[in-house]
Structure 1
């Protein structure tokens, strides 16, 4: 079992990842500004600000896997990329692996095609800063991070969010940076967390961008990866 620290562990994706990791017997620490509405037994909850580098360093020290489930909105709207770079730096210094909850717009519709973020004409302008900042992490920041940092950026398929949470099906589709095709609607947070923990436990993706989508196939996992 691994020592896993989840940044943003009380949010939509983060809380599902915390729950899945704890259910599998991992040693889980969650850092967030607000306490959980329903604490999970055995999880260590730390209340703090991820923009506080000292607080970040304390929860990352000694961990084996850091999960960044942060989003560039609210108090993190302005400092998001700076915070993300600090997370990457501290994770590398700790010798831990970094897994990040990404966004759909950083994916491509086809191999070699421009990413969805390159054309946001159909997206409300108010959402553009959040989308472009989130995509910049995997497009610019992570590829230029020190080689010592082992990272995996995990995008969900389209329409992932608390506004349509869905149900746990116990299966998912896994792809690379090309968006997996829709199969029965948006992936739920529990199924996203299922795939996310499978990626952590397999440990076979390195400095890679992958994505998880819904699957109604009668088997646990389908994959679009070679």
Structure 2
């Protein structure tokens, strides 16, 4: 399968590159830094790297692949670009079924507590929230935008509260509730996320919805 990964040099993106290559897929890695792209396993003939801004991707670029994974990350001051990029990708692919779009969303849009409030409300209570809260807020807007898209083949994936580097471990899967494991921890490693996304790509279980994954 041909898989294009936007933001391929970030924590999530690089884990996705490695997992997709491990499973024998053809991977195109996109990022804004040639230096960072060079740190990917470029000796693998199944990997192609390109320095390209995601907003320059055309319909032709996107339709040259089977799956596009949006692992885009940005500074809090530019967090609105999460919504803008989702809108750009969707606009290029209206009334199509291929490629499939996979969006990595934040945990803030998940529900938690007995009253099922949004987790972003809890994040906002962090004393340092002002410096980063725009990211989960805009990822919530991104999901809300996607939920109105019914003529593009998309799926969203949210991590648990603590999205961190690390290898894959056994996973918990859910839909819209923030997941907590038996140790009362709510975390998702980049490796666990990569495995969950590749599993979904290879054996689709979700269509035009968001699901969530956490370390078990």
**TM interval, short-chain normalised:** 0.7 to 0.9
Alpha-carbon offset, residue 100 of structure 1:
0.8
1:131 corresponds in structure 2 to: 136
Answer yes or no: is the 8 Å Cα contact 2:82–2:142 preserved in 1.
no
Alignment length, in residue pairs? 206
Return the TM-score normalized by structure 1: 0.82
Flag structure 2 segments of 5+ consecutive residues without an equivalent.
Answer: none
1:218 corresponds in structure 2 to: none
Flag structure 1 segments of 5+ consecutive residues without an equivalent.
Answer: 216-226
Q: CA RMSD in A?
A: 2.2
1:211 corresponds in structure 2 to: 212
Inter-partner Cα distance in structure 1 for 2:26 and 2:76: 29
Answer yes or no: is the 8 Å Cα contact 1:29–1:59 preserved in 2.
no
- 1:1-226 paired onto structure 2 within 5 Å: 2-35=1-34, 36=37, 37-40=39-42, 41=44, 42-52=46-56, 55-73=57-75, 76-92=78-94, 95-109=98-112, 113-119=116-122, 120-122=124-126, 124-138=129-143, 140-145=144-149, 147-161=150-164, 165-169=165-169, 171-183=170-182, 185=185, 186-215=187-216
Return the TM-score normalized by structure 2: 0.85
